[in-house]
């Protein structure tokens, strides 16, 4: 059985082995991975309330022009949101898989930053995109029921990017099944492992996120890679992967 201290110590050693490369890779993973997370928000109620007051001041022509501007702005926001989501699906998720491969290799050898592009070169780009998209979709749909089922699913599928990193052509059903089996009995401990980084996250807030870029994210990513390595060895020993 793994311990948090063991995983974090091994992860820290791997991280320090290729410090700047790890920082660069996690930065790219974060930039593109978060591209579709926010979206665009338009507070229509606020504008409706304030436009009623403005209607007493402006002429009908000015009012019409201003509403046309708001409509154009809304269309622009929708387009921007769709572009953001597209980047997440077709680039961000692929970078997550490529970054996972980088950290897997970095455990035992000096690895180049360009490894993050490996899914684009593997010939299995479409399979990686589809599998990661479905993973996000399933987690989102489970989250609609209640927050807790979504969190449970996110930990259940935590190993999927690592599995694809080593097997980009693997059928998505098999990748989900293996990840689910790997995380069986590990989800709570992994959740506690995630909480162990909370202090670093809070401290990073005092540095306007600088600590996150240069330490917390690569440290955490290297630690989760150690978890994947442990789970893979356990899977081989138990005979459900060969």
- What is the per-residue pLDDT across 176-222, written as a single tens digit (0 to 9) for each? 999 999 999 999 999 999 999 999 999 999 999 999 999 999 999 99
Residue among 156, 169, 161, 154 at smallest CA distance from 132: 161
Q: Which residue has the higher pLDDT, 84 or 133?
A: 133
pLDDT at 40 over 60: no
Sign of the four-CA dihedral 49, 51, 57, 60: negative
What is the distance between the alpha carbons of residues 124 and 142, in angstroms, rounded to a whole number?
A: 27
What is the distance between the alpha carbons of residues 181 and 175, in angstroms, rounded to a whole number?
A: 10
State pLDDT tens for residues 117-161.
Answer: 999 999 999 999 999 999 999 999 999 988 899 999 999 999 999
pTM of the model: 0.85
Residues 6+ apart with CB under 8 A from 201: 212, 216
Q: In angstroms, how far is CA 226 from the centroid of its own chain?
A: 18
How many structural domains compose the chain? Answer: 1
What is the distance between the alpha carbons of residues 194 and 190, in angstroms, rounded to a whole number?
A: 6
Query: CB neighbours (10 Å) of residue 17?
Result: 16
Residues 6+ apart with CB under 8 A from 226: 2, 6, 7, 8, 10, 11, 14, 107
Range of the domain at 155: 4-238
Residue 37 pLDDT class (50, 70, 90 cuts): very low
């Amino acid at each position: 059985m793994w311990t948090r201290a063991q995983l974090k110590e091994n992860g820290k050693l791997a991280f320090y082995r290729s410090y700047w490369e790890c920082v660069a890779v996690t930065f790219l993973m974060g930039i593109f991975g978060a591209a579709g997370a926010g979206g665009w928000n338009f507070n229509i109620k606020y504008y409706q309330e304030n436009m009623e007051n403005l209607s007493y001041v402006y002429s009908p022509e000015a009012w019409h022009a201003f509403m046309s501007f708001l409509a154009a702005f809304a269309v622009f926001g929708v387009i921007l949101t769709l572009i953001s989501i597209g980047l997440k699906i077709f680039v961000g998720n692929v970078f997550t898989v490529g970054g996972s491969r980088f950290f897997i290799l970095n455990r035992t050898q000096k690895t180049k930053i360009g490894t993050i592009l490996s899914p684009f070169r593997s010939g299995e780009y479409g399979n990686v995109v589809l599998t990661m998209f479905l993973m996000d979709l399933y987690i989102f749909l489970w989250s609609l029921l209640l927050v807790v089922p979504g969190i449970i699913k996110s930990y259940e599928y935590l190993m999927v990017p690592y599995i694809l990193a080593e097997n980009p052509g693997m059928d998505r059903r098999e990748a989900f099944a293996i990840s689910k089996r790997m995380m069986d009995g590990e989800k709570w401990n992994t959740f506690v492992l995630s909480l162990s980084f909370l202090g670093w996250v809070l401290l990073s807030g005092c540095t306007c996120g600088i600590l996150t870029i240069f330490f917390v994210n690569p440290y955490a990513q290297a630690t989760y890679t150690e978890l994947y390595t442990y789970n893979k060895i356990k899977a081989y020993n138990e005979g459900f992967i060969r």
